[in-house]
Structure 1
Amino acid sequence: MKQIAVLHLNRPETAETVTFMGQSLQIRHLNCANDLDKARELITQLDGQVDAIALHGMPAQLELGPAKRKHAQGAGLTAVAQQTPVVDGRIIRAGLERWGIILADRAQPGIFSRKRVLMTPGINHNGMSRALERHGCTIRYADPFIYFHLPKVPGIGFRQTRNQAAPFTLDRLKDVSYETLYPQVNGRSPEPNQAPFDWADVIAGDIGTIRHFAPETLKRKTIVVENASEDDLADLQARGVDIVVTLMPALDDAAGLGQWSAATVEAALTALRPDPAAPLNEDTYLDMMADLEWTPAIRTLQPENADINRFAFVIHPLSVRFIHGHRAFRWTKYLPDSIVEAVAAYIPPLSLSRITGGQSPTTGQRIEGHLISLGATPRQMMRHGERFTYDRLHKAAEMAERKGARIMGLGAFTSVVGDAGITVAHEADIAITSGNSLTVAATLEAAKQAVIKMGATDLTKGKVMIIGATGSIGSVCSRLLAQAIYDVVLVSIEPERLIDLKRTIQEETPGAKVAIATRPDELIGDCDLIVTATSAFGQRIVDITKCKPGAVICDVARPPDISPAEAALRPDVLVIESGEVLIPGDIDFGYDIGLPPKTAYACLAETALLAMDGRFEDYTLGRNISVERVKEIYRLFKKHDFQIADLRSFDEAVTDEQFAQKRKLAAELKADPAHFAQLQAETGAKLAKIPVQAKGVKSRRKNSGGMVAAIVAVIGGIAILLWNGRRR
């Protein structure tokens, strides 16, 4: 049986026998009592008696980035023995750290993506830091403040890059004791520097150093270390740490946790070399490392956070009043709206809240989401052009990825701009969906319920109009509605695409009656159901005064195409929003999204649904929504027990009494054509006095005055808020 000895600065002496790479291996752990003379004495005694000697926490060389320095006390330890190899883990550590990061990411995709990483310390962990950088991580180093006691001021002492700090750091540490380099895990820094640990998502380095210098609270942090014991995990769990990753292989094939240091693993590989005469270099170890069948141990310490699928969803202010309503920007209501709206468009993506409590009653899968907001209104997105919004969505995707999301949904106008998500998906490292597949499915289900509640008995005998029929949502709505109602009117400002869509419907649904038009006015009076799905601004989408008595208008657009003032002209006509969705579980959005509790817009619900089903893939992108995708998302909708929420009209639930009143009014108007004609004339005159608009945006008039001072005030206020947010 091969034998190795591991020398520790301060650890009780124990012995263990493990099975590693198919062979039995005896490991003796010996205590040097923080005395390097005793270490030399032990090495002399063990020379020729064991197959390898490991120096745990006693490196012969210090490395930080490209800089290397021999350690004054330990440089000679590896040369004491004449027969037995003495190793400190330096040869294999970097390679195994890099390989371990890759394997951990494969086991739990996205675990390191875009994270903020605090190396504690960075010394002798070049492999770890470089591997994390390749996953888009932002790396900072704790070495300056933990070793040189820099002032405990937020942001000071840990911003240096590896290359900048390395020579300064190593020149001053090559002469310090190992006790200073590797503090005891049972001792804690009396005044931990909270700021850098708060900043970090991931704390990586040595378990003893982390436990010594980190604060009491490490809630939702991920710890990445060479090795850790069960006692280490218990301590980190008590501090609120979420996940611990150990990057070194377990020497016991039956063990799950990597409890052995790089020095111990290197000694084991040295002892088990097929050729005892093979040189102790990286090439010798590489072949052996390639034969290892292992995955770094990933322990979730907080049971409530285990097995949660994460997503993100992007929203934005639909109008300037939403900016005024945000608690951080209420002061903007005292400034001109045009200035506030223009400046807010440049605000970087903001994290608004965590969405918690979603759970599938079918599979038990839990989900967690993150609401992220852009600052631009739809009008500003249109004014700045596609690239402006793409860049901000790319930053939002990076933020989502750092928070652990593996899919991001595009809400409201972000799903309309440009190519409807295709470019965003191409540039992002996580999955993207516009949410439009479930928006279509929920819209059709809500429309069906509304028409029935308005008194229809046979939907196949009705007539439906789709305004914006050639758009991404409108086209697939048109195709599916034609299969259910057979008599459809397609309205769009793109006549060539209308012709193409009509032919598609006639091929898919033989016998369907399809009319096409560039304006709805002349045909709208015959329609029982009108679906609006446009991206138009500053114009009137629907002349509600021309609708037939008891018609249902399903307004899919966000912001909506029809205003409350327009709808009020015809109390017999029902105007509903596209189908909102109830997400199963005790869902809490952590933010007022403008809907009742537990209720989500369908596009948000699609993102949550895909996360719940583990479908981390680009799902709904572009303007050609697949009918098959709509049917598939509806199948998942049913599988996980999502529900259509109560029908709503202008943010208010429509009651049974209101349905009854509308049915009564519609019946009276149908029975008295003369009265209906008079009503249309009167309401037409009133409509002419209502400003022409769509999505809350009126026809644009020039705003006089530059208001330079106001612009400066807005920019200054936003800059202060963002700076304070970063410091917090």
Structure 2
Amino acid sequence: MKQILVIHLGDGEAVETVEFLGQTISIRRIGCHGDAGRARALIEQADGQVDAIGLEGLPVQLRLGGIARPHSIGSSLPAAASCTPVVDGGGVRGGLERWGVILADRAQPGIFAEKRILLTPGLNHGGLSQAMYRHSASLRYADPLVYFALPDLPGVGSHRTLDQAATLTLEQLKDAPFRRLLPQAGAPGQPRAAAPFEWADVIAGDIGAIRRYAPTGLKRKTIVVEHAGEEDVNDLKARGASIVVTLMPALDGKGRLGRWSAATIEAILAALRPDPALSLDENTYLDLIAEIDWAPHIRYLQPDEAGVNKFAFVIHPLDVRFIHAHPAFRWTKLLPDSLVETVAAYLPPMYLSRVTGGQSPVTGQKIEGYLISLGATPRQMMRRGERFTYERLNKAARIAERLGARIMGLGAFTSVVGDAGITVAHEADIAITSGNSLTVAATLEAAKQAVIKMGATDLTKGKAMVVGATGSIGSVCARLLAQAIYNVVLVSIEPERLIDLKRRIQAETPGAAITIATRADEHIADCDLIVTATSAFGQRVIDITQCKPGAVICDVARPEDINPQEAALRPDVLVIESGEVLIPGDIDFGYDIGLPPKTAYACLAETSLLAMEGRFEDYTLGRNIEIERVKEIYRLFKKHEYQLAGLRSFGEYLTDDDIARKREYAEQYRRDPELFARVKEEGAIKLAAIPPMSKHVSSQGSGEFAKWAGLGATISLGLLGLWQIVRPRKN
């Protein structure tokens, strides 16, 4: 049996026996009351009587950043033993901290990604600092606060100024008493600034310093320490901390709470060296460390936060009216719309709200999400290069990671800009989905329900049209519709891609009658179902006055292709939105997304569904959506009991009476061709008076921007400054 003595700063004495690396180890812990003389006497007494001695909280050397200094007293302690090796944990701490952070991230991917990290302190935690910096550049050091009670001033504790400050810091600390170097839990003699702790998402370092100097409120904080006891964990839980991670191996079982310090671990490894003549450094210990079957201990402290899968979703204003409606920007109604819309496009991504309450009734898996908004409308995205939107989505992805999300969905127009998510997925560390697979599935299910409600009895004998057929959503809708209806018209402004799509559908569905066209006019009068999924602006996507009596138009585009003024010209035509979805559980979006309570757009629902299933992977990307993905996401939709919301038209749910009235009009027009001809003729006259429009954008320019361009810089600064003041904070 190997005998280990650990001398620590506290009081009391205890002995514990453990099994480690196939050996029985007896660990005797004795407190020296912070007295270096007593520590030296204990070393002299145990020399030759034990296999190794560990100094816990009595460092031989002080290291901060790339600078090291021997401690004036600690460096003399190993010499008190002539036979037994004396170590302070410095030989293994850095390596085990780096490896522990890697293992923790593997166990909980994204746990440290893009977080704000506060080293408390950074002294003798170089490995922890290096490992954390690989996950986030937002890293600060609390050493000035812990050791010198400095106020929270700009630049104090900055990672960039570390090496400059390290020399002065170590000069001040090399003669300091041990209890100052390793603060113990308890009330500080002088309170420390709370702001750095409030700023941080992750507080990492020594448990004693954190308990002593951190504020009483640590809600939603992750605490990462070398080692901790149950008393420490209970204190952190009482302060509201979310997660505690201990990085040192547990000697009493893999994955259990790491109660043992780096000094204890190094003393054991020193005792287990195959050759006692080997030096006491990391190179000697590496082979032994490689044999340890261990994992850092990760414990969720708040029951309602344990096991929650997190996602994020990006939204943006569909037009300038959404900017005016935001509480922080209502004053922009006093400014020209074109100016507000242009300036808002340059706002950085904004955290909007926390989505809570989602839970699978089948598996019990809980989900939580975050809404993040860009400032650009679709028109502004189209006017600028793809890179403009990519850069803002990358920033949104970093915000999502910091919030703990492991997958981010691209809402509305962000899912179709450029290559429909491929570049963002390549550049971001978080999983990305456009949400278009479930959008397709929900759209076709909603369209099916609508056509049946309008009186169709055999869908295979109908005729469908897809406008925007070569887009990511339109193309897969066309392919799936061809399998059900067989007679499909494909409309797009890209004739060469139409040819390719037609050939693909005919290969997939032999016998399907596929017609292709660059305009919908010649074929619209024969179609029972029309799906519009375009990215057109300031154009008339279809002439609704020429539709077949009782036709159904499913408008998938966001913003929509059809406006209410056009739809009103044909009271028999049913215009519905793409299928919206009810997410299971008591879902609360924390923000008005423009839908009824508990109702989500299908693309948002797909993101939440993937989180619920634990599928944190790039899912729906690019313009060629895989049919198998659509079918798979629909199976998951059914598995977790997601549901389609009722049919909606221009923001209002359709009742059975609404649909019955449309059916009556349709029957009347079918019975009376002359009446139908007059309705179409009168509708065409009225339509001519409505400016061609899609996405709420008229083809007629306002000319306002040129008039007001001189105010652009001033308003930009005003908006950006206001955003910094009023932007919502993380709950």
The answer, yes or no, to whether TM exceeds 0.5 is: yes
- 2-structure distance, mates of 1:81, 1:286: 25
Q: Where does structure 2 lack aligned partners over 5 or more consecutive residues? A: none
Kindly state the Cα deviation for residue 156 of structure 1 after the two structures are TM-superposed.
Answer: 6.5
- Residue matched to 1:158: 157
- 1-structure distance, mates of 2:581, 2:462: 26
- Residue matched to 1:128: 128
- 2-structure distance, mates of 1:710, 1:421: 31
- 2-structure distance, mates of 1:287, 1:128: 21
- Residue matched to 1:616: 616
- Residue matched to 1:709: 711
User: Counterparts of 1:177-196 in structure 2 under 5 Å?
Assistant: 177-188=177-188, 191-196=191-196
- Residue matched to 2:421: 421
- Residue matched to 1:37: 37
- Residue matched to 1:719: 721
- 2-structure distance, mates of 1:169, 1:677: 89
- Residue matched to 1:631: 631
- 2:535 partner SS: coil
- Greater CA deviation, 416-425 or 696-705? 696-705
- Residue matched to 2:270: 270
User: Counterparts of 1:552-591 in structure 2 under 5 Å?
Assistant: 552-591=552-591
- Greater CA deviation, 230-239 or 143-152? 143-152
Kindly state the Cα deviation for residue 137 of structure 1 after the two structures are TM-superposed.
Answer: 4.3
Matched AA of 1:715: L
Matched AA of 1:274: P
- 1-structure distance, mates of 2:254, 2:512: 66
- 2-structure distance, mates of 1:720, 1:199: 20
Kindly state the Cα deviation for residue 630 of structure 1 after the two structures are TM-superposed.
Answer: 0.8
Matched AA of 1:212: R
- Residue matched to 1:15: 15
- Residue matched to 1:286: 286
- 1-structure distance, mates of 2:152, 2:137: 24
**1:158–1:196 contact (8 Å) kept in structure 2:** no
1:679 paired with 2:679, answer: yes
**1:188–1:211 contact (8 Å) kept in structure 2:** no
**2:580–2:600 contact (8 Å) kept in structure 1:** yes
**2:555–2:575 contact (8 Å) kept in structure 1:** yes
Deviations 1:644-690 (A, max 9, x none): 11110011100111011111111111111111111111111111111
User: Counterparts of 1:134-213 in structure 2 under 5 Å?
Assistant: 134-151=134-151, 157-161=156-160, 162-188=162-188, 191-213=191-213
- Residue matched to 2:109: 109
**1:336–1:710 contact (8 Å) kept in structure 2:** no
Matched AA of 1:158: G
**2:255–2:295 contact (8 Å) kept in structure 1:** no
**2:691–2:700 contact (8 Å) kept in structure 1:** no
**1:19–1:253 contact (8 Å) kept in structure 2:** no
- Greater CA deviation, 166-175 or 22-31? 166-175
- 1-structure distance, mates of 2:709, 2:511: 61
Tell me: CA distance 1:4–1:373, structure 2 relative to 1, closer, same or farther (3 Å). same
Kindly state the Cα deviation for residue 24 of structure 1 after the two structures are TM-superposed.
Answer: 0.9
**2:254–2:294 contact (8 Å) kept in structure 1:** no
**1:414–1:420 contact (8 Å) kept in structure 2:** yes
Tell me: CA distance 1:724–1:499, structure 2 relative to 1, closer, same or farther (3 Å). closer
- Residue matched to 2:458: 458
Kindly state the Cα deviation for residue 723 of structure 1 after the two structures are TM-superposed.
Answer: 5.7
- 2:489 partner SS: strand
- Greater CA deviation, 679-688 or 552-561? 679-688
**2:68–2:170 contact (8 Å) kept in structure 1:** yes
- 2:572 partner SS: coil
- 1:127 partner SS: helix
**1:343–1:715 contact (8 Å) kept in structure 2:** no
Kindly state the Cα deviation for residue 725 of structure 1 after the two structures are TM-superposed.
Answer: 4.9
- Residue matched to 1:261: 261
- Residue matched to 1:509: 509
Matched AA of 1:458: D
- 1-structure distance, mates of 2:698, 2:403: 38
Q: Which runs of 4+ in 1 moved over 6 A?
A: none
- 2-structure distance, mates of 1:282, 1:724: 50
- 1:340 partner SS: helix
- Residue matched to 2:337: 337
Matched AA of 1:686: K
**2:351–2:727 contact (8 Å) kept in structure 1:** no
- Residue matched to 1:242: 242
User: Counterparts of 1:388-407 in structure 2 under 5 Å?
Assistant: 388-407=388-407
- 1-structure distance, mates of 2:721, 2:372: 18
- 2:357 partner SS: strand
- Greater CA deviation, 169-178 or 94-103? 169-178
Kindly state the Cα deviation for residue 724 of structure 1 after the two structures are TM-superposed.
Answer: 6.4
RMSD: 1.6
Deviations 1:374-428 (A, max 9, x none): 1111111111110111111111111111211111111111111111111111111
**2:78–2:87 contact (8 Å) kept in structure 1:** yes
**2:316–2:373 contact (8 Å) kept in structure 1:** yes
- Residue matched to 1:376: 376
- 1:624 partner SS: coil
- 1-structure distance, mates of 2:613, 2:83: 59
**1:98–1:128 contact (8 Å) kept in structure 2:** yes
Kindly state the Cα deviation for residue 168 of structure 1 after the two structures are TM-superposed.
Answer: 2.4
**1:406–1:616 contact (8 Å) kept in structure 2:** yes
Matched pairs, number: 727
**1:332–1:714 contact (8 Å) kept in structure 2:** no
Tell me: CA distance 1:495–1:220, structure 2 relative to 1, closer, same or farther (3 Å). same
Tell me: CA distance 1:389–1:266, structure 2 relative to 1, closer, same or farther (3 Å). same
Matched AA of 1:169: T
- 1:369 partner SS: strand
Tell me: CA distance 1:724–1:214, structure 2 relative to 1, closer, same or farther (3 Å). farther
TM-score (norm 2): 0.97
- 1-structure distance, mates of 2:528, 2:557: 19
**1:487–1:513 contact (8 Å) kept in structure 2:** yes
